[in-house]
Each structure stands twice: as structure tokens, then as C-alpha cells.
């Protein structure tokens, strides 16, 4: 029952990735969200700091 990635992202208001301590490959999901026009709300840590422009492409938070 899988749906194509663009169709999945079209159903979202935002992407809220919670890393849970993992530091690898999470920004890839952010790139897919950006490509679909979906903002990302993520931790102010790891690769997210370099990817997200606060208030433009998403928001950065200091805690989960």
C-alpha cells in the first residue's frame, strides 16, 4: 500500500523529523520535503542548522 514519495509529501503540512540521537541520513528527508514545498521543523542540531533557513524553509527548535 505504499504511495509515491511526492504524493506522500503532498499530504503533509510540515515534516517533523525527530532524530532520537541518530545523526545520519535525516537531512535527506528534509531535502525531499523542500523539493515538495513542505517546511521542516527540526532540532537545532546536526545538519539541520545548515539546511533550514528559519521562517523561510522551516523552523529550528532547541529541544524535542
Residue 1 has pLDDT above 70, yes or no: no
Confidence of residue 5 (pLDDT cuts 50, 70, 90): confident
| pTM attached to this predicted model | 0.80
Summarised one tens digit per residue, pLDDT across range 6-62 is 899 989 999 998 766 666 666 788 899 999 999 999 988 878 888 999 999 999 998
DSSP tag of 41: E
Cell triple for residue 42? 527540526
pLDDT for the residue 64: 67
Instruction: State residue 48's pLDDT score.
Output: 87
CA geometry: angle 30, 56, 40, nearest 5 deg:
25
Amino acid at each position: 500500500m505504499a504511495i509515491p514519495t511526492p504524493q506522500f509529501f503532498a499530504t503533509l503540512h510540515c515534516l517533523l523529523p525527530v532524530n532520537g540521537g541518530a545523526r545520519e541520513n535525516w537531512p535527506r528527508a528534509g531535502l525531499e520535503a523542500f523539493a515538495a514545498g513542505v517546511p521542516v521543523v527540526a532540532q537545532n542540531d546536526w545538519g539541520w542548522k545548515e539546511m533550514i533557513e528559519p521562517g523561510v524553509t522551516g523552523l529550528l527548535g532547541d529541544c524535542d
